Structure 1
Amino acid sequence: MKIRDLGQEIPGLILIDDFVTEKEEAELVDQVNQRPWSGLGQGPNPELKRRTQQYGHLFSYRYRKVLEEYGPLPSFIDPVVQRIMSHQLMPESPNHLLVNEYNEGQGIMPHIDAPALFGPAILSLSLLSACLMKFTHATTGHSIDVILPRRSMVVLTGNARYNYKHGISKDLVETALDGTIIQRAQRISFTFRQIIAWEVPPEADGCGCHSNKDDKKSID
């Protein structure tokens, strides 16, 4: 593994290359492909335009709250969770795993994971394909593009977690600032979070980004 502290650009942003091996990547993908997917008309989140799986807890995108506790995360993810905790990347062991499948032409709108629902660290593991993730400050508009290589883990804490929206474009081909060209292909991401509440209080901003309704639909 190679840990890259991107805190000079955005405090709290870390990227870890080769967080899992090629063999582990293949095993993780095989495990989720053996399990039922949600989205694209299939419950429990049939309205989503991409396929997803959730473990630990069920989060409703439609109602923007946690609906059910499933129990412990599945054993197939134990080695990854143990690695997360051994490197002290989260203050507590994750109790929610969100698996997203992004096919060519699929992305996700800029958003901040709901501060009222999810804990202080958001981690996302990229499998099968690289992508470009854009981070944009919710107030100042300052933005940077970060390449998320295949098998890398991105860690959002502090400023990166609470003040920057993050999103992925729908572009089939992406070009980074350094000239790196990314040909988008199927990508599966594993997002690890700690559920700290089941519902956003009425007075709270659901996504934490103080923006429009479209952003609030993007709670990930």
Structure 2
Amino acid sequence: MAYPCEITEELKEHVVTNAAPTVYYVPDFITEAEEQYILQEVYKAPKPKWTQLSGRRLQNWGGLPHPKGMLAEKLPDWLLKYSNRISALGAFAGKAANHVLVNEYKPGEGIMPHVDGPLYHPTVTTISLGSHTLLDFYKPISQSEGDEPQTEADRFLFSLLVQRRSLLVLQDDMYKHLLHGIQNAHQDTLTDRVVNLSSSTEDARLGDTLSRDTRVSLTIRHVPKVIRANLLPKRK
């Protein structure tokens, strides 16, 4: 199946102009019925599919990314449907998404600021289920000799409100340069540092305090370097 090599006009309509290049935020990307369907599929996965980490647990689908190449595994149909839908928006420059991380965050859980790294096409797309969160963005830690130590608060730039059933697409500096993370919090207050409020649904306004519930995110990406099982050297 061929996909657009450039972002489609449909997605361009959802660019967030108050952030660094480039963010697309699509509220209500999926319906409530689709949200419930995906959540059912997530929790039907066998227990060994889950990996418990500090602050969250996750499922890995499509293979394990590795510098030497990812041994590709076919995505299940319930993930392929939505990864194809995102690929059809031109998110991966004509390529198809082939890897999905399913992350579960309980209220009060988060993830330290980080970058996703070079194993992926420089685009990350996320569908959120079950709850909102605030995704915070930071300048990289300065490595210049003689610089004063920088705290996380010193490096903080802005936040994005990521609502349930939304699609978030990060490219360019937002992917390659800035760090992103989620605070360990039970509630989030919407301040003027949340730069996509005008793109959000009407139930999110400046000054509101939102309580988190359990959030499940589908982080959908394209891994360029893959190894097909039938291309592996045969054992003698």
Show the counterpart of 2:16: 6
AA aligned to 1:129 is S
Distance across 2 between alignment mates of 1:70 and 1:32: 20
CA distance in 2, matches of 1:52, 1:153: 19
1:25 aligns with 2:35: yes
Name the CA shift for 1:137/1:195 in 2 (closer, same or farther; >3 Å).
Answer: same
CA distance in 1 between partners of 2:59 and 2:77 (Å): 15
Partner of 2:111: 108
Asked if 1 retains the 8 angstrom alpha-carbon contact of 2:84 and 2:97, the reply is no
Aligned to 1:171: 185
Aligned to 1:96: 99
Match of 1:128 in 2: 130
The SS at the match of 2:102 is strand
Superposed structure 1 runs of 4+ greater than 4 Å apart:
45-49, 64-68
What CA distance in whole angstroms lies between the structure 2 residues aligned with 1:112 and 1:28? 26
Report the Cα offset of residue 50 of structure 1: 2.2
Total equivalences in the alignment: 189
3-state SS of 1:138 partner: coil
Q: What amino acid sits opposite 2:113 in the alignment?
A: P
Higher relative contact order (CA 8 A, sep 6+): 2
Larger Rg over CA atoms: 2
1:46/1:145 Cα in 2 relative to 1: closer, same or farther (>3 Å)?
A: closer
1:142 Cα deviation after fit? 5.5
Q: Secondary structure at the match of 1:58?
A: coil
Q: Which amino acid aligns with 1:187?
A: R
| Secondary structure, aligned partner of 1:101 | strand
Q: Aligned-pair RMSD on alpha carbons?
A: 2.5
Which residue of 152, 157, 169 maps to 1:143?
Answer: 157
**Who is 1:16 aligned against?**
26
Structure with the higher fraction of residues in strand conformation: 1
2:60 counterpart letter in structure 1: Q
Could you tell me which of 21, 44, 56 is aligned with 2:62?
56
Name structure 1 gaps, 5 residues minimum: 199-220
Give the SS at the match of 2:58.
Answer: strand
Give 2:212's aligned amino acid.
R
Instruction: Report matched runs for 1:62-77 at 5 Å.
Output: 69-77=71-79
More helix by share: 2
CA-to-partner distance for each residue in 1:69-106, whole Å, 9 max, x for gaps?
Answer: 25121111232123212221222111110000000111
Whole-Å separation in 2 of the counterparts to 1:114 and 1:197: 14
